[in-house]
Amino acid sequence: MVLFLLSEGKSTLAETYKYKKHHSPYKHKLYRSNLLIEGKISYGFIAAHHIGMEIYNSHLPSIEFSLIKETYGQNFWEQMFNYPSIGVTLWHSGLGSSSILGTATTLFPHINFPLIQTQNTTFSFRLGAGIGYLSKTFHRLENYKHLAIGSHLNFAGNLTLELKFKAGNYWVVSTSAVLQHFSNGAFKLPNYGLNIPGIALGAAYRLDKKNTPIERRLYSPTKPFDFNVHRMIEFNVGGMIGFKNMAAIFGDRYYVYSIFGNAFKRVSYKSKFGIGFDVSYDGSDALILDRDNIQFDKKTQLIKSGFNLAYELTMGRLSFDFNYGFYLGGLDRSDGTVYHKVSLRYDVTNNIFANITLKTHWGSADFIGWGLGYQIKTNY
């Protein structure tokens, strides 16, 4: 009889738990979509950052539509970055109805980091990167005045400082300062790029009420990682390949090969600091040396080696790497002795990662590289 009652009790408890799990009035509060639909109009101008760009100096409107998801603590990094929002934006502009430049359209994912927050206002920084399409490009006969960009497909970057105002439970209005950038990373010359600063007004509609941030309810106050965060060093090595279409100057296309390595010391959940090295070979360097009347005997003299200071900002499996470097070897110094790299990295597994890297010389793009690498984490 006792066994029967216990078994009945277990069954009743199990059924009660199952019912509460599927019918709990609190379930929807944790699992709403947290989606918003946003529209913006902006007004800006094409910045003449090079003397050859002054002929495009004009004012222009643009529009954008976004689908945004606000985070609320499903992953620990969301809490560390004060619950940023992520989304994707479609942006379009007629570029001042220019017969030379044509129109520009871009689709880019983005992440918006809150910097200052009150109950009804948020001041934030949005970082976006994606693919842009320009309807017109440079052509030596048909459009020789188009010195900005030589390819239809380009990298599109977006930087936005935004001030948002909550207007009830479902509406959010905003004003922002925007910089829209187009460049092909020297994939195909010419490549001065387009920089379009402007100001924007927007309105967003929330599809449902906002989720309450999970905060510390699902995280222990002290995590095992706290004990070794300051005693961890990470090593990574990898290789990448880039492509440069220099038909407009040298009449041919060239590949760039590079191997790299970094050693990082993690100083917090977000940040790592370290040092790095890289070795690269650029097939176009031989023609540049010949143009500058610099003699060389072997192709190995074209190999560039460099040392750099490194910083990494991590958000779960996704991270941004920044390198500030100095060349140690290589005959071609037409771009100077200092270089910079900005990389978007994704950890495919705990040890293998993929990355996209833009290498520049003081804002002038050198090449875009696609790579794979291997990382090892160790405590000391």
For residue 272, what is the domain's CATH number?
A: 2.40.160.20
Q: Which amino acid is at 358?
A: L
DSSP sequence for 299-328: GGGG-EEEEEEEEEEEETTEEEEEEEEEEE
Expressed as residue numbers, the domain containing 159 is 32-210
Indicate whether 148 and 39 sit together in one domain.
yes
Any domain includes 12? no
User: What is the dihedral angle through the alpha carbons of 189, 45, 144, 130, rounded to the nearest 10 degrees?
Assistant: 30
**Half-sphere exposure (CA, 13 Å, Cβ side) for 180?**
31
Beta bridge mates, 371: 240, 355
pLDDT for residue 61: 94
Indicate whether 119 and 250 sit together in one domain.
no
Any domain includes 11? no
Average pLDDT over residues 179-197: 87
Indicate whether 76 and 118 sit together in one domain.
yes
Indicate whether 91 and 54 sit together in one domain.
yes
Indicate whether 180 and 301 sit together in one domain.
no
User: What is the dihedral angle through the alpha carbons of 347, 348, 353, 359, rounded to the nearest 10 degrees?
Assistant: -80
Confidence of residue 1 (pLDDT cuts 50, 70, 90): very low
What domain count does the chain have? 2
Q: Which amino acid is at 56?
A: Y
Min mean pLDDT across 44-58, 213-227, 267-281 is at 213-227
Q: What percent of the chain has pLDDT over 70?
A: 86
Indicate whether 88 and 206 sit together in one domain.
yes
- Rounded distance, CA 251 to CA 340, Å? 27
- Rounded distance, CA 155 to CA 360, Å? 14
Q: Which residue has the higher pLDDT, 273 or 330?
A: 273
- Rounded distance, CA 317 to CA 144, Å? 44
Any domain includes 46? yes
Digit-coded pLDDT (tens) for 108-161: 999 999 999 998 999 999 999 999 999 998 887 788 888 788 889 999 999 999
Average pLDDT over the chain, rounded to whole?
84
Q: Which residue has the higher pLDDT, 339 or 57?
A: 339
Domain final residue pick, 157, 179, 210: 210
Sign of CA pseudo-dihedral 142, 147, 150, 152? negative
Average pLDDT over residues 168-187: 92
CA 123 to chain centre: 20
pLDDT for residue 228: 56
Confidence check: pLDDT of 240 > 70: yes
User: Residue 189, SS3?
Assistant: coil
Indicate whether 206 and 239 sit together in one domain.
no
Tokens standing for residue 238: 């990898």
Whether the CB-CB separation of 157 and 365 falls below 8 Å is answered with no
Q: What is the longest distance spanned by two Cα atoms in the chain?
A: 101
* Full-model pTM: 0.78
Q: Which residue has the higher pLDDT, 155 or 14?
A: 155
**Half-sphere exposure (CA, 13 Å, Cβ side) for 260?**
29
Task: Render the burial of 31-56: b for 16+ CB within 10 Å, e for the rest.
Answer: ebebebebebebebebbeeeeebeeb
**Helices marked H in the chain — which ranges?**
2-23, 27-30, 76-80, 285-291
Indicate whether 337 and 293 sit together in one domain.
yes
Digit-coded pLDDT (tens) for 257-298: 999 999 999 888 889 999 999 999 998 888 888 888 888 888
Any domain includes 264? yes
Confidence of residue 169 (pLDDT cuts 50, 70, 90): confident
Indicate whether 198 and 243 sit together in one domain.
no
Confidence check: pLDDT of 7 > 70: no
Indicate whether 63 and 91 sit together in one domain.
yes
**Half-sphere exposure (CA, 13 Å, Cβ side) for 297?**
0
By C-alpha distance, which of 343, 246, 345, 254 is closest to 302? Answer: 254
Confidence check: pLDDT of 316 > 90: no
Average pLDDT over residues 340-360: 95
pLDDT for residue 301: 87
